[in-house]
Amino acid sequence: MLLAQGDTTNSSKRPRLRALSLCKSFPGVIALNQVSFELQPGEVHALCGENGAGKSTLMRIIAGVEHPDDGELSLDGVPITHFDEHKANVLGIGMVHQERSLVPGLSIAENIFAARQPLNRFGLIDKKKMNQRGAELLSALKLEVDPTRLVSTLSPAQQQMVEIAKALSHDLKLLILDEPSAALTIAETEDLFEVIRQLTRQGVSIVYISHRLAEVFTISDRVTVMKDGEVTGTFNTNSVTEDQLIKMMVGRELTMEQDLRRVQENAEVVLEVSELRSAPAVQNASLQVRAGEIVCLAGLVGAGRTELCEALFGVREYTRGEIVMNGTALRMKSPSDAMKYGMGMVPEDRKEGGLFLEMSIMENIVSSNLSLVSSGAIVSSSKSKALSKLFVDKLRIATPSVSQKTVNLSGGNQQKVLLSKWLARKPKLLIIDEPTKGVDVGARSDIYAVLRELAASGIALLVVSSDLPEVLSLAHRIVVMSEGRTVGELDASEATELSILKLASPGSIRKEKRTS
């Protein structure tokens, strides 16, 4: 049973949360400008907007992580003053942040109950009780893992579920979920929705931030749209359309329609992978990517897609198989080998694998492209600024200048900086792992346009995506992986979500053999 302090009484008379005229500024950025927001008991209230619109800042203020420059907050009609994260937890406000905050070297249960472990009568940590309670929370989320396991051994999706379990371990009145499904499978997202519904039945109020509008329409009662630090409207979800929300968020018409162009059958094969094995995650993988083609790797979380890409890029050792680029067999021993042969790779985890957060946008973009902006040992400031501004404009990175520290950008804008860093290298083959993870609908459309432009210029693209609508929109061909193996290939013009999921389901190879 999930714990809650929720109260469904008087919901029509008094909001659970009321924020009035909140203002917040960061260096060079007005994050919130006179923002007001209300949340009712037992309500799921979605919050939508482009990256940099102010959504996460507003929620971090409500959760006590940030302090507003001006404005008022009240919970159940009681003004909140001298507010911080600890007081928020005491009052029953929990938040699952977009960026994970777990300690890798601690167990799941130790992370869930950090700084508030149950004690026995001798004043010592009661590990048995802590692990038992941790197991109950994980079970509620249908995550069948041992609570004594180290967080460092978990997949990104499993870590996200632990973050949610950590929030649920508090007595809740209000739960804020900031992009909670970004690392989750379809089935895991459905499990999360059932937990949300159970909480709301207990009177808990939920704020749900997501760029996936299908989720907004599935789970929310009301939706508030933000743009440029201001609220542009609040609506009953059943009274507004997806197109209307998108137009309010981005202020322009967008298209996510499939690109019907295909490369010629005789187009050069840039990458050919044969029977590659990188144990234990990749058992047997084969695929081709031609010049000017976008091939998407689809499959469930844990299918081995990221590990295959890491083996191709020299990050992970492989013990069998062959990698051929432009007709030449290669042996990748490190990323520097891959880059030398014309590969680039945008990793899934931008913070761990690709960005220097304390450095500026310009410094991040030129860090892998010094030859483009330097003469000998002298780096040209003007060339660096010009190169960086080119990609800031092209990918619509929301920033006052290229000198802005990357850490001050929203998650989606950080993703664009990482993509820019590799686009500037003009690789022959670009591997992109979850290109639009944490990215809003406007930025998603921009990134699609950039990737299609790259393909049109002759670059071969291998894209990993867990978002099936994205796969169907972006891909020319789809290679499906299941249990560490490539199990099938589909032309995107004929594929459906169902046909992809059928191939991706565990045991799909064995099922095919039994029916043949």
pLDDT for res 412: 72
**Do 467 and 454 belong to one domain?**
yes
Domain total of the chain: 3
Residue 27 included in any domain: yes
Nearest to 287 by CA among 470, 457, 481: 481
Domain containing residue 506: CATH number: 3.40.50.300
Total residues belonging to the chain: 516
Local structure of residue 380 (DSSP, 8 states): P
334 and 432 belong to one structural domain: yes
Q: Are residues 462 and 334 part of one domain? A: yes
Residue 369 lies in a domain: yes
Same domain? For 225 and 304 the reply is: no
Pair 71, 33: CB distance under 8 Å: no
The tens digit of pLDDT for each residue in 452-480 reads 989 999 999 999 998 888 999 999 999 99
Out of 395, 425, 455, a domain closes at 425
Residue 392 · residue 360 · CB < 8 Å = no
Cα Rg, the chain, nearest whole Å: 24
pLDDT at 413: 83
pLDDT of residue 512: 46
Task: In whole angstroms, give the CA distance from residue 171 to residue 7.
Answer: 12
Q: Which two tokens stand for residue 60?
A: 């971090």
Say how far apart CA 205 and CA 199 lie, in whole Å. Answer: 8
CA neighbor of 171 nearest in space, from 201, 208, 130, 199: 199
Per-residue pLDDT at 36: 97
369 and 470 housed in the same domain: no
Percent of the chain residues topping a pLDDT of 90: 59
Q: Are 456 and 293 in contact (CB under 8 A)?
A: no
Confidence of residue 445 (pLDDT cuts 50, 70, 90): confident
| Cα–chain center distance at 464 | 13
**pLDDT above 60 for 10:** no
**Pair (291, 373) in one structural domain:** no
One domain, residues 65 and 29: yes
3-class secondary-structure state, position 215: helix
Is residue 122 pLDDT above 60, yes or no?
Answer: yes
pLDDT category, 8, cuts 50, 70, 90?
very low
Residues 238 and 259 in one domain: no
DSSP letter (8 states) at residue 119 = B
Q: What is the pLDDT of residues 380-395, one digit of tens each?
A: 999 999 999 999 998 8
Residue range 336-386, pLDDT digits in tens: 999 999 999 999 877 777 789 899 999 999 988 888 898 888 899 999 999
337 lies in the same domain as 362? no
DSSP, collapsed to helix, strand or coil, labels residue 190 as helix
Tell whether pTM > 0.95: no
Say whether both 441 and 336 belong to one domain. yes
* Alpha carbon distances (Å) from 221 to 17, 65, 195, 208, 244: 16, 26, 16, 10, 17
| Listed residue (23, 47, 85) closest to 227, CA to CA | 47
CA–CA separation, 298 and 448 (whole Å) = 17
Tens-place pLDDT, residues 22-77: 999 987 788 999 999 999 999 999 999 987 789 989 999 999 999 999 999 999 99
Confidence of residue 152 (pLDDT cuts 50, 70, 90): very high
Average pLDDT over residues 432-456: 86
On whether residue 97 sits in a domain, the answer given is no
- Domain range for 76 is 1-92+204-251
240 and 361 both lie in a single domain: no
With respect to residue 163, please indicate whether it lies within any of the assigned structural domains: no
Q: Give the tokens for residue 208.
A: 């749900």
Is pLDDT larger for residue 115 or for residue 71? 71
Which residues, including other chains, have CB under 8 Å from residue 129's CB and lie 6 or more apart?
118, 120
Task: Determine the pLDDT at residue 250.
Answer: 83
Q: In this structure, is residue 367 part of a structural domain?
A: yes
What lies within 8 Å, CB to CB, of 4 at 6+ separation is 171, 172, 173, 199, 202, 203, 204
- Between vectors from CA 435 to CA 431 and to CA 439, what angle results, nearest 5°? 165
In a domain, 445, yes or no: yes
